[in-house]
């Protein structure tokens, strides 16, 4: 089957939660993509890596969370690469993999817009793929105008076009980690196999070195 379009979804996924799952499903349906690929970051440039759960555990949790979704798959391309996980390098990797006839979309949550201007080679990135933004509580479309120092008006318009009115899902990995540390239930936000993995591997415990 020809792969015409792919939705790439990068993140720390520490842990992957229903918010990730729901926006990926919503956007994939809206754009009628042939594939969704989750791309766990090894060394996210915008996060304090010392406090992040190991790539092995984050990868395993994504695998478990998407195992029943035929449209979804996972890539370890960022985990295999040395140095910071720059999105432009990941896009180049997938361009080589799929070829120029496959359209690549890169999914972000609306909270990422405020930082997007500082992303490595942002103009090249915007030219190389279509960034798609999902709604997230606390962030709004007007924030796209903050990018006027980094991107042309045309590029900002393009981002606006691909601002998708997804349901707003008030979940974050941070709040899930905080609940887990306090031994509060997390099963409303995280799929059962992932909850079991977290318990089995004692992730997000005070002495585990992750928080």
Told to check if 58 binds ligand ATP by CB under 6 A, we report no
Please count the residues of this chain forming the interface with ligand ATP, following the rule CB under 6 A. Answer: 18
Told to check if 60 binds ligand ATP by CB under 6 A, we report no
**Out of 28, 36, 108, 129, which residue is the one contacting ligand ATP (CB under 6 A)?**
108
CB of 155 to ligand ATP, least distance (A): 18
**Out of 173, 189, 191, 197, which residue is the one contacting ligand ATP (CB under 6 A)?**
173
Strand order in the sheet with 72-74: 72-74, 35-40, 5-11, 103-109, 130-134, 163-164
Q: Do residues 26 and 167 touch, judged by C-beta distance below 8 A?
A: yes
* Contacting range for ligand ATP; rule: CB under 6 A; set: 26-34, 108-116, 141-149, 203-211: 108-116
Q: Which is nearer to ligand ATP, 15 or 155 (CB)?
A: 15
Alpha helices in the chain (DSSP H): 18-31, 55-66, 77-80, 87-98, 113-116, 122-128, 153-161, 173-181, 192-200
* Contacting range for ligand ATP; rule: CB under 6 A; set: 9-17, 68-76, 78-86, 115-123: 9-17
Half-sphere exposure of 84 (CA within 13 A, CB side): 10
DSSP 8-state code for residue 81: S
**Out of 171, 186, 195, 198, which residue is the one contacting ligand ATP (CB under 6 A)?**
171
Give the number of other CB atoms < 10 A from CB of residue 179.
16
Interface ranges with ligand ATP (CB under 6 A): 11-14, 19-20, 23, 108-109, 111-112, 134, 136, 169, 171-174
């Amino acid at each position: 089957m020809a792969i015409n379009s792919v939705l790439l979804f990068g993140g720390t996924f520490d842990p992957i939660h229903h918010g990730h799952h729901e926006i990926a499903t919503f956007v994939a349906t809206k754009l009628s993509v042939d594939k969704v690929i989750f791309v766990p970051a090894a060394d996210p440039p915008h996060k304090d890596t010392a406090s992040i759960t190991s790539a092995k555990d984050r990868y395993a949790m994504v695998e478990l969370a998407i195992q029943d979704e035929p449209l979804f798959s996972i890539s370890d391309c960022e985990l295999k690469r040395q140095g910071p996980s720059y999105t432009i390098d990941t896009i180049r990797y997938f361009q080589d993999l799929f070829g120029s006839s496959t359209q690549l979309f890169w999914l972000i949550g609306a909270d990422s817009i405020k930082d997007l201007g500082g992303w490595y080679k942002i103009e090249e990135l915007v030219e190389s793929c279509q960034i798609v933004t999902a709604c997230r509580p606390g962030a709004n479309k007007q924030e796209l105008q903050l990018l006027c120092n980094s991107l042309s008006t045309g590029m900002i318009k393009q981002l606006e076009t691909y601002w998708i009115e997804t349901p707003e899902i008030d979940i974050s990995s941070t709040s899930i980690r905080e609940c887990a540390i306090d031994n509060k239930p997390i099963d409303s936000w995280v799929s059962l196999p992932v909850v079991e993995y977290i318990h089995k591997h004692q992730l997000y415990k005070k002495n585990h070195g992750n928080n």
